[in-house]
């Protein structure tokens, strides 16, 4: 199974906002986005050792969608903490402003 996943509340809001937006654009597109997110999570659980981008945060891109999963890694307890799910055009430091 690999690493466990913890999705922070702010990241869950990011995810829901993206699913809602894609759903409003075309029927079924929100489901496709969520499916791409789930597949990315599965890949991360197997291999979360991506390059650190900033402040100990690593990023993993979604296939076919312009979003990146921003996460931190707690290797000692095999935990991936998803901090944000951001569109690639947003400032990657924006998640720090969440408080």
Identify the CATH number of the domain in which residue 71 sits: 3.30.2310.20
- CA within 13 Å, CB half, 12: 5
List the pLDDT tens digit at each of the 99 positions of the chain: 689 999 999 999 999 999 999 999 999 999 999 999 999 999 999 999 998 988 899 999 999 999 999 999 999 999 999 999 999 886 656 655 554
Domain count within the chain? 1
**Token couple for 15:** 């995810």
Report the predicted TM-score, pTM, of the whole model to 2 decimal places.
0.88
Domain that holds residue 9: 4-98
């Amino acid at each position: 199974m690999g690493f466990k996943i913890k999705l922070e509340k702010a990241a869950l809001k990011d995810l829901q906002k993206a699913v809602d937006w894609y759903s409003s654009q075309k029927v079924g597109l929100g489901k496709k986005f969520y499916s791409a997110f789930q597949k990315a999570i599965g890949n991360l659980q197997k291999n979360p050792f991506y390059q650190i981008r900033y402040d100990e945060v690593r990023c993993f891109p979604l296939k076919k969608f312009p979003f990146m999963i921003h996460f931190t890694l707690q290797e000692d307890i095999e935990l991936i903490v998803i901090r944000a799910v951001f569109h690639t055009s947003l400032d990657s430091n924006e998640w720090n402003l969440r408080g």
